[in-house]
Each structure stands twice: as structure tokens, then as C-alpha cells.
């Protein structure tokens, strides 16, 4: 039956002037209760509606993609919260049968080898995730020293390796399929080679992470796993022991490695756009600036730096710039500019009592202050609390034991301090040298700790 239908489609194609073959997608859903099915194409992590089809007979739907179709991963919805994915490559007929109450587990196809392989992987992955969930739920019942916890952790590692090996074997059996490329895309590397490259300052991580991924095939653009793999790769460059500037450099190094790989122009552009979107509202503006102003091979920058840009951006608060010198009230009640404070380094931190991240970070930062104050560190904590929160501000200072220089400067547009330091969120930190040069702009307390250790130890 499958062969006859494919022959019919090919005869139909030969009678036309088209050189690319159209695709028929035939869906049979047992116990279906929806009159309509919808076909979506993945574009990154989002989906785009391509077509909809009404039932021909109960539980039967049919879609046709013309010769301009885009290869990649598609999603079919056959009811509220009832959907499954299919691979569209160059097979003229994709036949799907399933059961509405268990669509993923019941997927079958007589004609589409691409989808037979892809669904085999997906079903194995689902069982793997269920097994991991069970193991992870058990591990919380045991202390770190319990031998059974060590056994469970080892079992989790073995399960991860088993899933990885299953996928690799499946792909090796069918290396030319688009389904195999999509399966590889979902597999993060697990190997001694990867661990070695991490220890070698991640200099060759891109080669290891993206090997066997066909970055020249535009079809992988239409798979959500591309974005997941991209951000897993970027996260591999995160290090809690880095200060802010080291972390900036690590992320940029990872991006530079990635963009130097052999890949199609459309894919390179998509990866850059994805990274810009992710870093845009993060604590790493220098990474966003690098992505926007750097050319990557023949991919030109999104924008060029200009004098007009610098003027419109207002005062500069980059590492190496001079910080704004403002007046504070010292512990003894006297007034002084921060440039007159007797300290080797000054941490200016902007915070507020209504900022949960601030309240969580301040006790740790207070520990660093107590540790390094005698060595030349001073802290100026500028609270954005208004007069209504003055009592709450005072109680936090007392309860948290914040013995550094505390000032309250209610937030207001046009305030000179906030304008000169570009305060748009809390917490914000600036580590300054004696001459008010910005030494570091830590985004987290861990990055602050890393820089203080380098300075004082």
C-alpha cells in the first residue's frame, strides 16, 4: 500500500513542470475528538502555523506541502494539548497513525523511515527522563555520606551514558537521515575529550561540542534543540570562580570559537540573533556589544560604534573609566567625597529593601567586608529606598549588621548619582581603586569574591 501511494505521487509529480517534489502528510488518529488538525513548523524555539486540515473521515487528516516547503522539524496538533513532532525531509509521503490519549507512545509509520528512526529516539528519551525523574526523587531522601546516595548518583551517570550511547548507535546506523542530524543536535557531548578541554581553559570546547553537527544544513534551523544546545554550550563557559571581567572574556571566547566553525551564513546569523536576545537584558552588556559590533567572517556587524552612539549613551561606566565622585555621610556624621575616603579599594553598591536579590547577597558581602576591611576595603551602600521605607532600611542595616558606610538616596529620575552610575536595577556594584578608576563591575557576590581574592590574597 505504501509503495503504491509513493509511485502515484511520483507519477503525479512527473506530469508537472516542478523539479522539487511536494509532500503529503497523512494522519490517522484513533479515538480522535477534534474536527481539525493543525500543522506547525518549528522556527527556533517557537512555532509557525503552516496549515490546518478538517477531518475527511473521523480521525483522518491530510496536509500537502508544495515544492517550496522547508525541511526540518514540524509539529502536528490534533486536539487541545495533544500534539507530536514529525521530520519533514525529502520523503514524498509521511503517513502517521497514533492514538489520541497516548499520541507520543503510539506513533507509527509505514512509509516514513525518517520518522520511524526519530520516534524510536524520542520514545527511548522519554523512558530515560522518567527513569531519571525517579532516581532524582529518591536521592533527596539520603544524606551526602550515605552509600545508597552514591549508588543512585552512579546509576544516574550510567543512565545518561546509556541514553547517549543509544542515540549514537542509532545515528551511526542511519548517518544520512535528517532525523539523525536532529538526534545529534539533542545530544550534549559526554566524553573524556570534553572534560579535558574544560580543564584546558575551554580553548577547544567548540570543536568538541559541535563535532558531528552539520552546521551547513539549514534544516537544523527548524529544530528547537539548536537553541538548547547553543545555551548549554555557552553555560559550559560559566565559572563561579571567575570575576565579572573574566566571565565576560570567557563568554566572548566561547562565542568567538563557535563563530569560527564552518557553518552556513543563515545559521551563523540565527545563532548570533539568539545570543543577542539572551544576553541583551543580562548582566553582561559587553558580551551584547561584542555580538552587535563584531563581524564574523562574511557576516557583517549589526551596528558600528560611532561618536553619536557614545554621546547618546551618556557617562561611561566601563572598567578602566573614572567613576563619579559624590559626597557621603561618614559613620561619625561628617561629610566627605568618596575620593577622600582612606581605603585602597571602594565597593559602591546600589540596593533597596524591596530587592530580594539584594537582601540575599548583602550578608555575604558583609562577610567579605569584615574579611578585607583591615586590608584596605571600604563599602559604600547606597539604598534607593524612599522616605516611606526608611524604617525598613534602618532595620535591615541593624539586623544584617552592615557596619560599612550606609546612605539612603531615594530613587528619582534626574538624580545625579543614579545618572552618572547608570543605575537601572538593583543590586549594582562598582569596585573602585583609590583614584576612583572602575576596577570591576561584579554582577554577583561570587564574582565580587573572586576579584577581592585576587586583589588582597
What average pLDDT does this structure show over 119-143?
90
Q: Say which range, 137-151, 324-338, 363-377, has the weakest mean pLDDT.
A: 137-151
78-113, pLDDT tens digit by residue? Answer: 988 899 999 999 999 999 999 988 888 999 999 999
138-150, pLDDT tens digit by residue? Answer: 887 777 777 888 8
DSSP secondary structure, 53-106, as one string? EE-SSTTEEEEEE-TT---EEEEEEEETTEEEEEEESS-SEEEEEEETTSTTTT
What average pLDDT does this structure show over 398-416?
91
Q: What percentage of the chain carries pLDDT values higher than 70?
A: 90
- Cβ 205 vs Cβ 237: under 8 Å: yes
**Per-residue CA distances from 380 to 73, 320, 326, 349 (Å):** 54, 20, 11, 6
Taking 70 as the threshold, does the pLDDT of residue 441 lie above it?
yes
pLDDT-derived band at 55 (thresholds 50, 70, 90) equals very high
**Per-residue CA distances from 338 to 288, 322, 410 (Å):** 31, 12, 19
66-79, pLDDT tens digit by residue? Answer: 999 999 999 999 98
- pTM of the model as a whole: 0.82
C-alpha grid cell, residue 23: 509532500
Given this model, what pLDDT does residue 269 score?
Answer: 95
191-249, pLDDT tens digit by residue? Answer: 544 444 444 445 667 788 898 899 999 999 999 999 999 999 999 899 989 999 999 99
4-44, pLDDT tens digit by residue? Answer: 554 444 444 444 444 457 999 999 999 888 999 999 999 88
Taking 60 as the threshold, does the pLDDT of residue 2 lie above it?
yes
What average pLDDT does this structure show over 289-318?
79
157-185, pLDDT tens digit by residue? Answer: 899 899 999 999 999 999 999 999 999 99
Alpha carbons 56 and 1: distance in angstroms, whole number? 19
For residue 99, what are the contacts with CB-CB under 8 A and spacing of at least 6? 29, 30, 31, 106
Beta pairing, strands 345-351 & 428-433: antiparallel
Round the average pLDDT of the chain to a whole number and report it.
88
Taking 90 as the threshold, does the pLDDT of residue 312 lie above it?
no
Given this model, what pLDDT does residue 203 score?
Answer: 61
Amino acid at each position: 500500500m505504501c509503495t503504491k501511494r509513493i509511485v502515484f505521487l511520483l507519477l503525479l509529480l512527473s506530469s508537472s513542470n516542478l523539479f522539487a517534489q511536494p509532500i503529503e502528510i497523512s494522519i490517522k488518529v484513533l479515538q480522535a475528538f477534534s474536527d481539525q488538525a493543525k500543522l506547525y513548523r518549528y522556527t527556533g524555539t517557537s512555532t509557525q502555523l503552516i496549515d490546518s486540515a478538517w477531518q475527511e473521515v473521523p480521525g483522518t487528516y491530510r496536509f500537502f506541502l508544495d515544492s517550496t516547503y522547508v525541511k526540518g522539524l514540524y509539529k502536528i496538533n490534533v486536539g487541545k494539548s495533544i500534539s507530536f513532532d514529525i521530520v519533514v525531509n525529502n520523503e514524498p509521503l509521511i503517513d502517521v497513525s497514533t492514538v489520541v490519549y497516548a499520541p507520543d507512545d503510539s506513533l507509527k509509520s509505514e512509509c516514513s523511515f525518517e520518522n520511524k528512526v526519530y520516534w524510536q529516539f524520542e520514545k527511548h528519551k522519554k523512558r530515560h527522563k522518567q527513569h531519571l525523574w525517579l532516581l532524582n526523587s529518591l536521592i533527596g531522601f539520603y544524606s551526602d555520606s550515605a552509600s545508597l546516595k552514591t549508588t543512585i548518583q552512579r546509576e544516574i551517570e550510567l543512565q545518561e551514558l546509556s541514553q547517549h550511547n543509544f542515540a549514537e548507535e542509532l545515528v551511526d546506523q542511519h548517518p544520512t537521515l535528517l532525523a539523525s542530524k536532529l538526534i545529534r543536535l539533542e545530544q550534549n557531548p559526554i566524553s573524556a575529550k570534553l572534560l579535558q578541554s574544560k580543564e584546558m581553559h575551554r580553548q577547544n570546547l567548540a570543536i568538541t561540542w559541535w563535532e558531528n553537527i552539520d552546521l551547513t544544513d539549514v534544516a537544523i534551523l527548524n529544530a528547537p534543540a539548536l537553541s538548547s544546545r547553543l545555551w548549554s554550550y555557552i553555560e559550559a563557559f560559566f565559572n563561579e570562580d571567575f570575576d565579572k571581567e573574566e566571565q565576560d572574556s570567557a563568554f566572548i571566547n566561547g562565542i568567538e570559537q563557535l563563530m569560527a566553525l564552518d557553518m552556513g551564513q543563515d545559521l551563523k546569523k540565527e545563532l548570533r540573533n539568539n545570543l543577542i536576545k539572551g544576553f541583551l537584558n543580562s548582566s553582561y552588556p559587553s558580551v551584547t556589544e561584542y555580538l552587535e559590533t563584531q563581524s564574523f567572517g562574511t557576516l557583517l556587524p549589526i551596528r558600528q560604534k560611532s561618536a553619536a552612539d557614545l554621546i547618546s549613551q551618556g557617562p561611561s561606566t566601563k572598567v578602566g573609566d573614572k567613576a563619579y565622585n559624590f559626597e557621603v555621610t561618614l559613620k561619625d556624621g561628617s561629610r566627605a567625597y568618596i575620593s577622600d575616603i582612606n581605603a585602597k579599594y571602594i565597593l559602591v553598591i546600589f540596593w533597596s529593601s524591596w530587592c530580594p536579590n539584594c537582601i540575599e547577597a548583602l550578608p555575604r558581602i558583609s562577610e567579605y567586608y569584615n574579611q578585607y576591611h583591615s586590608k584596605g576595603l571600604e563599602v559604600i551602600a547606597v539604598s534607593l529606598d524612599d522616605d516611606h521605607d526608611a524604617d525598613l532600611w534602618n532595620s535591615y542595616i541593624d539586623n544584617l549588621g552592615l557596619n560599612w558606610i550606609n546612605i539612603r538616596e531615594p530613587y528619582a529620575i534626574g538624580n545625579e548619582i543614579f545618572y552618572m552610575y547608570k543605575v537601572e536595577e538593583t543590586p549594582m556594584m562598582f569596585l573602585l581603586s583609590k583614584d576612583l578608576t572602575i576596577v570591576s563591575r561584579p554582577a554577583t557576590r561570587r564574582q565580587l569574591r573572586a576579584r577581592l581574592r585576587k586583589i588582597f590574597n
